[in-house]
Amino acid sequence: MAAPRQLTRRSSEFIDSVLKLKPRIAAFDCDGTLWAGDAGEGFFHWELDQRLVSDEIAAWARRRYAAYRAGQVAEDDMCGEMVSMHRGLSENLVQAAANRYFDENFVRQIFPEMRALVQKLQEQGSLVWAVSSTNQWMIRAGMRYFGIPQERILAAAVEVRDGIITDLLTRVPSGDGKPQAIRATVSGPLDIAFGNSRWDMAMLAMARQGFAINPNPELETVARQNAWPIYFPDLLADSG
């Protein structure tokens, strides 16, 4: 594993500005917020190519994703189906595949200052939650690098029975689904929240203080309207 990246003065000042708020409860979106890129989408294409699911399900999933990209399938529906399509598979098998994919493709994409922030918040006593519409196995894989325990992961999920994945959705935290998942699970008000896209707006709005991290243009506009701090990680500047 490569040596930890040295934080810049700018990133250290950002971390300090958050720590000064002394939040009791913090929530982080994952894809695009804690690391660059969409691990959930990447894993979806990778596992189809790797034939992790049957050829029949893979063919259906490719058609379904094309329809989603064409605006014919809702975001929540696609996020849920990216989880439920694993029905009948061993959860251990899918988790091992997710770990492998993240280790090989996304560890280098982690924003060092966001990783440091999560760790420092927890050291300070904050309860940190990962809230994502990506499948639960991928978020578990990523959270191994942030120290967020499984019981504080709110990701797209299905019921698992006797170690076998079913197609019974239990949660799809996207858009308004993020505040719903937080209210149903987290005890106490949300102090700070971090996100990068329109699908995080409702979560940022419910927090005492929202932060727009690596925001897309739509979220950046809303963040400025709401006086939410905006921060672009150093890794993005280096790759630009």
Q: Cα-Cα-Cα-Cα dihedral of 65, 71, 77, 81, to 10°?
A: 0
pTM comes to 0.94
Burial, 9: exposed, middle or buried (Cβ in 10 Å; 0-12, 13-18, 19+)? exposed
Per-residue b/e over 156-183, b at no fewer than 16 CB within 10 Å?
bbbebeeeebeeebebbbbbebbbbbbe
In contact, 238 and 109? CB cutoff 8 Å: no
**How many of the other CB atoms lie within 10 Å of CB of 125?**
9
The CATH T-level fold of domain 9-239 is Rossmann fold (3.40.50)
Q: Taken in order 179, 17, 134, 130, is the CA torsion positive or negative? A: negative
Give the three-state DSSP class for 49. helix
**pLDDT tens sequence across 66-107:** 999 999 999 999 999 999 999 999 999 999 999 999 999 999
Q: Which tokens sit at 163? A: 């170690």
**pLDDT tens sequence across 164-221:** 999 999 999 999 999 999 999 999 999 999 999 999 999 999 999 999 999 999 999 9
Per-residue b/e over 90-120, b at no fewer than 16 CB within 10 Å?
ebeebeebbbebbeeebeebbbbbbbbbbbe
**pLDDT tens sequence across 4-47:** 568 999 999 999 999 999 999 999 999 999 999 999 999 999 99
Tokens 């690098």 — which residue?
Answer: 145
Q: Which of 108, 122, 109 is nearest to 15 (CA)?
A: 122
